Amino acid sequence: MKNLYSILTIVIVFSAASPHDTLQATPLKEISVRYHFNLATWEPSHLPLKWIYKIGVNLFPLSEQINDRATFIADFLAHQKKVANLDALMNEAAIRKDTKLEFIEETFAKSNQEVRKIQMKSEEAFESMISDTLRSEKIPKIMVGPLFFPPVDFVFEPLPTILVTSPRNKIERLESVFLKPNLPPSTREMLETMILDQEELSAIVENIGGLSTFPNMIATYDLRTTIDIAGHEWLHSHLFFQPLGRSIHKDSNMNIINETTANIFGEELSNLIYAQLTGENPQKSVVGQGETNECPKELFCFNEEMRKTRLMADALLEKGQIEETEAYLEKQRQKFVDNGYAIRKLNQAFFAFHGTYSDSPTSISPINNQLMQLRKASSSLSDFIRKVEGIYNHEQFLKLLEENGISSP
């Protein structure tokens, strides 16, 4: 019954929320058209696979304990790690023209097949574990017994990349286009250069960790991070049916509120589930309640250096010094690389994209601190989501802060 319910709700959500390609062309889309990722065809091609699997599970149910789920998940993540290691080894062998390359390629292909065999069972295990926690925390707004809407549904899939633009004279996210997964650095650089030369815009092609399609599309990392991303994307699906989610594209502040709320939610949900699996005290899992350790002065501290870089870039752009800003950012990029952070490009578009997440050092928005204070003022994670999901503009957000005794600049 539960799985059939999931199938029906997926159909409803897909009909309502599925993004559709438009015929409206822009210079950015024309330049990158060869590399576009088509969401409108991806979702219809992947939904039936999930339906078939869920129907099979419903018709031939297996008794599954929480320990079994944990085993499925651990096994899947171990296989994924093995595939990632083999991929790196294969690339290195190809560069060095190693005589063992053929053997490594065969092992890589075999390991990939093993992952595919257990993928759907692992996805179901992840989904069940997350669903149980969402129910126990009373997060979904619509719950009838064990059923809730929207259901947790995702696939582990290579994610598209994203092309983002910004003006050169200020840091501001303009347009975004999803591109094919795993674009090589040479192709990314080519597109970014073409957009700079033809449109006088700063551009960057970046990887993403998840995408709120139906089913949600997420990458696999370690256990905690994978659950974090799955929770983040599920909340976007939930918020689509609330004023906050429907207002995500209204302006930059609403985009930041949506993304930062999803970050806070995903991290805390991940902490809760990880605590259940490891026996840690869930009270330690509330985001923002831990102490923040200052970075020792003698060490290179990524967050502090990135924050300083963003502020200096803004100051230079404020003076109209565009070329000086770009030269400074390239110098800083090299500094990050020298200290072990492989940043391929550091420009205005980099900050425009990553600054959408207010808890990132690339952001100058106060929204993360405001949301963190609101979370602390809330009795539970569910209470926090209930408060923010009804927001439809930034002014209402500021009013909500005031009602909870939180000052705003």
Query: What pLDDT digit, counting tens, does each position of 305-337 carry?
Result: 999 999 999 999 999 999 999 999 999 999 999
pLDDT band at 58 (very low <50, low <70, confident <90, very high): low
The two three-digit tokens of residue 299, written as one number: 């060490």
Task: Compute the distance between CA of residue 61 and CA of residue 92 in angstroms, rounded to an integer.
Answer: 44
Q: Is 164 left (phi over 0), alpha (psi -120 to 50) or beta?
A: beta
Average pLDDT, the chain: 85
DSSP 164-213: EEEESSS-----EEEE-TT--HHHHHHHHHHHHHHH-EEEEEE--SEE--
Task: Compute the distance between CA of residue 111 and CA of residue 86 in angstroms, rounded to an integer.
Answer: 9
Top pLDDT among 378 and 98 is at 378
The two three-digit tokens of residue 241, written as one number: 């049916």
Task: Compute the distance between CA of residue 221 and CA of residue 210 in angstroms, rounded to an integer.
Answer: 11
Task: Enumerate the H helices of 200-321 as residue ranges.
Answer: 223-239, 243-246, 252-278, 302-318
Q: What angle do CA 263, 264, 268 make, to 5 degrees?
A: 115
Least confident of 26-30, 60-64, 156-160, 292-296: 60-64
Q: Exposed (0-12), middle (13-18) or buried (19+): which is 73, by Cβ within 10 Å?
A: buried
Could you tell me how far CA 150 lies from the centroid of its own chain? Answer: 18
Longest dimension (CA), the chain: 68
Taking only the tens place, the pLDDT of each residue in 172-206 is 999 999 999 988 888 999 999 999 999 999 999 99
- Report the run of H or E that residue 217 belongs to, with start and end: strand 216-218
- Report the run of H or E that residue 218 belongs to, with start and end: strand 216-218
Taking only the tens place, the pLDDT of each residue in 224-261 is 999 999 999 999 999 999 999 999 999 999 999 999 99
Top pLDDT among 404 and 3 is at 404
Q: Secondary structure of 135-166 in the HEC alphabet?
A: HHCCCCCEEECCEEECCCCEEECCCCEEEEEE
pLDDT band at 55 (very low <50, low <70, confident <90, very high): low
CA proximity to 217, closest of 1, 18, 8:
18
